[in-house]
């Protein structure tokens, strides 16, 4: 199936039609880019071209002739996201030799991940993405703040956005956003609220209710003050029980051990256990079946502070999560790779759910949007919230424009509805803005909006 190129879009070649590749096609095609997808498996290509207006090629993405057929000489960007690191790196190398495009590679092996800077410099890669490492970092952020459903990092870690569910009897229930701000001794901003399936970008008069799920942004040092003020537990976990000895498990254990959190991993493959024992000498490695109820109890699941099933099978991860929630008070994080039956998964109240494919896709989509808008204001960070109905975008303000140097109250009438400025990062100082604050060149600015697809900061205006 051939595609019609959007005047504003980039010509993008994606190699690998797995979970990440298909997610990228879904998001980038929706944003008006000219996509060609390459994979050696015909049924994967067929499934994607049946659903999206993209061109599909069956073949090896590292092959010169296949890349020529895909139009590599005219391409703006090559994205290699196959299961094999070496193939991804080779695809990008061939693409850069033949064409003049930027290149992004998914690299998952720990050995390569230690050499990201070297790979980027020597191969001229625009971006190197490790889904397992990013998954581990996100899980570690949540375990540092276990009441949170999600923890998103902005401004190079200086600001965070926290997603919380308001339980029955919590002090926030019945309080307006304005009343909440008066009670809070530090600055923070509620950016989005989900209630009974509907998402709101709230104003000061919006009244919170028990059962709501909210996302708030604040300087990192203010997060625990917010949590403590309104009765949410804010201490990090002391120990974690992980099922599965995957790459993600290794990366997560590294993060947690570094933070002083005790780690125990249950893995069925004896050889992998021996590898992990060498790689993670401070962790306890158990050779056994992590789905064995007796073994889980023996290893302390009922007393564990947190539990993270990281097997390669979504259904197993979900069942283990439900089991842990039934017999313990552990903070549980569930990793899900596939998106089948998402409505059913959402109804299970699994708590914190991590989708590695979205973590990877969001970093790439942020880069693509920044490339698409060459005039000013590139994108630093991009997150999707509440099932992609809301976007949180951190823009770098590279040059002056109609949104710089003006008090925000002056621009308010010109700004799109369902949109707010969550914070301004000025030289590492996080400002939760009021009406008299201004955006200046050199700042980064985080926007939260239901308008998806913003490419530059000036898009906040009507």
Q: What are 234-274's pLDDT values in tens digits?
A: 888 999 999 999 999 999 999 999 999 999 999 999 999 99
Residue 256 and residue 218 share a domain: no
Q: Read off the pLDDT band of 393 (50, 70, 90).
A: very high
Query: Per residue in 275-291, pLDDT tens?
Result: 999 999 999 999 999 99
Residue 5 lies in a domain: no
Residue 412 makes CB contacts below 8 A (sequence gap 6+) with 435
Residue 408 and residue 346 share a domain: no
CATH of the domain at 451: 3.30.70.1450
318 vs 108: CA distance, rounded Å: 24
**At 158, phi and psi to the nearest 5?**
-80, -20
Q: DSSP letter for 413, please.
A: G
Query: 312 lies in which domain range?
Result: 239-354
Residue 245 and residue 224 share a domain: no
Residue 340 lies in a domain: yes
Q: What is the pLDDT averaged over residues 169-174?
A: 93
Find the distance separating the first CA and the last CA of the chain, reported in whole Å: 36
- Per DSSP bridges, beta strands 11-15 and 429-431 are unpaired
- Using the 3D structure, point to which of 334, 354, 374 is the last residue of a domain: 354
Higher pLDDT, 341 or 108: 108
Residue 302 and residue 246 share a domain: yes
Contact 447, 366 (CB under 8 A): no
Residue 248 and residue 225 share a domain: no
Residue 120 and residue 21 share a domain: yes
Instruction: Report the range of poorest mean pLDDT among 111-115, 170-174, 214-218.
Output: 111-115
Average pLDDT of the chain, as a whole number? 91
3-state secondary structure 165-180: ECCCCCCCCCCEHHHH
Residue 222 and residue 311 share a domain: no
Q: Read off the pLDDT band of 118 (50, 70, 90).
A: confident
Higher pLDDT, 452 or 125: 125
Query: Per residue in 287-335, pLDDT tens?
Result: 999 999 999 999 999 999 999 999 989 999 999 999 999 999 999 999 9
Higher pLDDT, 174 or 378: 174
Q: Which two tokens stand for residue 198?
A: 């509907």
Q: Note the pLDDT of residue 370.
A: 77
Q: Which two tokens stand for residue 210?
A: 């028990």
Residue 178 and residue 110 share a domain: no
Contact 378, 396 (CB under 8 A): yes
Residue 289 and residue 246 share a domain: yes
The crossing angle, in degrees rounded to 10, of helices 131-143 and 356-372 is 110
The pairs formed by 337-341 with CB atoms below 8 angstroms and a separation of 24 or more are 337/19, 337/312, 338/19, 338/314
Residue 338 and residue 258 share a domain: yes
- Using the 3D structure, point to which of 327, 354, 381 is the last residue of a domain: 354
How many degrees, rounded to 5, is the angle at CA 441 between CA 436 and CA 444?
A: 80
Residue 287 lies in a domain: yes
Reported as type and span, the H/E element at residue 297 is helix 293-298
Q: What is the pLDDT averaged over residues 398-406?
A: 92
CA atoms within 13 A on the CB side of 315: 2
Q: Note the pLDDT of residue 6.
A: 38
38-42, 134-138, 147-151: which has the highest mean pLDDT?
A: 38-42
Q: Note the pLDDT of residue 306.
A: 97
Alpha carbon 303 to its chain centroid, in Å, reads 30
381 vs 389: CA distance, rounded Å: 17
Contact 43, 67 (CB under 8 A): no
pLDDT for residue 113 is more than 70 = no
Q: How many domains does the chain have?
A: 4
Residue 73 and residue 167 share a domain: no
Residue 135 lies in a domain: no
**Can you give the pTM of this predicted structure?**
0.84
Q: Note the pLDDT of residue 295.
A: 97
Q: Which two tokens stand for residue 201?
A: 């970008």
Residue 6 lies in a domain: no
Q: Which two tokens stand for residue 45?
A: 């290509």
Q: Note the pLDDT of residue 426.
A: 96
- Per DSSP bridges, beta strands 419-426 and 444-449 are antiparallel
Strand partners, 176: 207
Q: Note the pLDDT of residue 5.
A: 38
Residue 442 and residue 333 share a domain: no
Q: What is the pLDDT averaged over residues 141-168?
A: 93
pLDDT for residue 454 is more than 90 = no
Q: Note the pLDDT of residue 8.
A: 59
């Amino acid at each position: 199936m051939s595609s019609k190129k959007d005047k504003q879009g980039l010509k993008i070649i994606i190699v690998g039609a797995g979970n990440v590749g298909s997610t990228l096609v879904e998001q980038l095609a929706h944003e008006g880019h000219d996509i060609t997808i390459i994979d050696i498996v015909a049924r994967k290509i067929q499934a994607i071209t049946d659903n999206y207006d993209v061109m599909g090629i069956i073949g090896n993405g590292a092959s010169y002739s296949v890349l020529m057929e895909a139009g590599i000489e005219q391409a703006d960007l090559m994205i290699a996201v196959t299961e094999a690191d070496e193939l991804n790196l080779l695809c990008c190398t061939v693409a850069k030799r033949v064409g003049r495009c930027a290149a992004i590679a998914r690299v998952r092996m720990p050995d390569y991940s230690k050499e990201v800077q070297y790979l980027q410099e020597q191969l001229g890669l625009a971006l190197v993405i490790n889904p397992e490492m990013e998954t581990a970092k996100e899980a570690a952020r949540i375990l540092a703040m276990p009441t949170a459903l999600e923890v998103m990092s902005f401004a190079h870690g200086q600001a965070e956005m926290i997603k919380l569910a308001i339980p029955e009897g919590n002090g926030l229930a019945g309080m307006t956003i304005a009343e909440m701000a008066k009670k809070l001794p530090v600055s923070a901003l509620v950016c989005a609220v989900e209630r009974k399936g509907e998402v709101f970008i709230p104003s000061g008069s919006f009244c919170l209710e028990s059962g709501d799920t909210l996302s708030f942004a604040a300087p990192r040092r203010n997060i625990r003050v917010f949590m403590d003020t309104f009765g949410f537990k804010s201490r990090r976990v002391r120990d974690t029980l992980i099922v599965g000895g995957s790459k993600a498990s290794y990366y997560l254990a590294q993060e947690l051990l570094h933070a002083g959190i005790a780690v125990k991993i249950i893995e069925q493959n004896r050889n992998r256990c021996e590898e992990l024992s060498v790689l993670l000498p401070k962790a306890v490695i158990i050779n056994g079946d992590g789905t064995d109820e007796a073994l889980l109890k023996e290893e302390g699941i009922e007393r564990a502070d947190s539990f993270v099933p990281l097997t390669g099978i979504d259904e197993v991860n979900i069942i283990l999560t439900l089991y842990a929630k039934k017999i313990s008070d552990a903070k549980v994080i569930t990793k899900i790779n596939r998106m089948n039956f998402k409505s059913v998964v959402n109804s299970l109240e699994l708590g914190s759910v991590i989708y590695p494919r979205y973590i990877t896709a969001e970093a790439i989509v942020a880069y693509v949007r920044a490339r698409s808008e060459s005039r000013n204001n590139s994108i630093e960070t991009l997150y999707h919230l509440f099932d992609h109905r809301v976007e949180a975008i951190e823009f770098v303000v590279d040059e002056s424009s109609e949104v710089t140097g003006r008090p925000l109250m002056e621009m308010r009438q010109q700004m799109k509805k369902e949109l707010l400025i969550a914070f301004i990062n000025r030289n590492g100082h996080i400002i939760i803005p009021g009406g008299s604050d201004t955006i200046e060149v050199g700042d980064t600015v985080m926007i939260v909006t239901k308008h998806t697809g913003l490419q530059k900061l000036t898009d906040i205006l009507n």
